[in-house]
Amino acid sequence: MTFQDIFRSSFLENVSAISVLDMALSILLAFALGLFIFYIYKKTYCGLMYSPGFGVTLIALTLITTLLILAVTSNIVLSLGMVGALSIVRFRTAIKEPMDIAFLFWSIAAGIVLAAGFIPLAVFGSMFIGLVLLLFSSRRDTDTPYILVVHCDSDATEEKAVSLIKSRIAAAALKSKSVSAGCIELNYEVRLKEGAASFVNELAALEGVSHAVLVSYNGDYMG
């Protein structure tokens, strides 16, 4: 067997395993679906620190997954080697938003389904998922969760502060209470509408209240 025979059997056969038209169509559709996922992510993002880099990552992840699945489906030996190579990969980046996980899996699933040849499933499935996300993201709760921290110097002051909190806030839950020499600290979980934090000024103006702080948080209380 000559070098030319080896080259022909290992390289040229792999080149002809997938047609150029199929590769071009899959890559173009993967790019289009990645852009669509990026658009839905941008429209439905509800956090404060939007990261454009994560949106670009969604596009790249769709393209990379499509390329991997195209390669795996054309060569069984390559698929076994790919499993071994990817098994040593570890992702240590913390996911800050729960919805980011859904978008990551969406990008991976779109690339897999598209490369497998189920183009209608990839397109219509992505359109349905995007429609569902847009529909539910438009129904956001108008109330924002906060943590209210109040420092009182006596029991009488605490009663006045609690009475004012309950009269101005419909939903308030005491999360913790700390008592030390000359200071009573109250931590309340409250939900307020946008621009409804003026009562904190009245709370701080009460006689005996030395400290009143309102802090926004994501719902995870770290007591």
Tokens, residue 43: 């429209």
Answer yes or no: do 12 and 85 share one domain: yes
Q: What is the pLDDT of residue 28?
A: 92
- Sign, CA dihedral 200-196-50-126, equals positive
Task: Give the chain's mean pLDDT.
Answer: 76
Instruction: Check whether 95 has a pLDDT greater than 90.
Output: no
How many domains, the chain? 2
Separation CA 44–CA 200 (nearest Å): 31
| Residues 167-196: tens digit of each pLDDT | 777 777 788 888 888 788 888 888 776 666
Determine the 3-state secondary structure of 189 from DSSP: strand
117 & 167 share domain: no
Global pTM?
A: 0.61
End-of-domain residue from the set 89, 116, 137? 137
Structure confidence at residue 11 as a pLDDT band (50, 70, 90): very low
Domain range holding 21? 3-137
Would you say 180 and 108 are in contact if contact means Cβ atoms under 8 Å apart?
no
How many whole angstroms separate alpha carbon 154 and alpha carbon 85?
A: 64
Whether residue 156 sits in one domain with residue 56: no
Query: Pick the residue with more confidence: 217 or 56?
Result: 56
User: Which residues, including other chains, have CB under 8 Å from residue 153's CB and lie 6 or more apart?
Assistant: 182, 183, 184, 208, 209, 210
Examine the fold and report which residue of 137, 172, 205 is the final residue of a domain before the chain moves on. 137
Residues 7 and 68 in one domain: yes
Assigned domain for 82 exists: yes
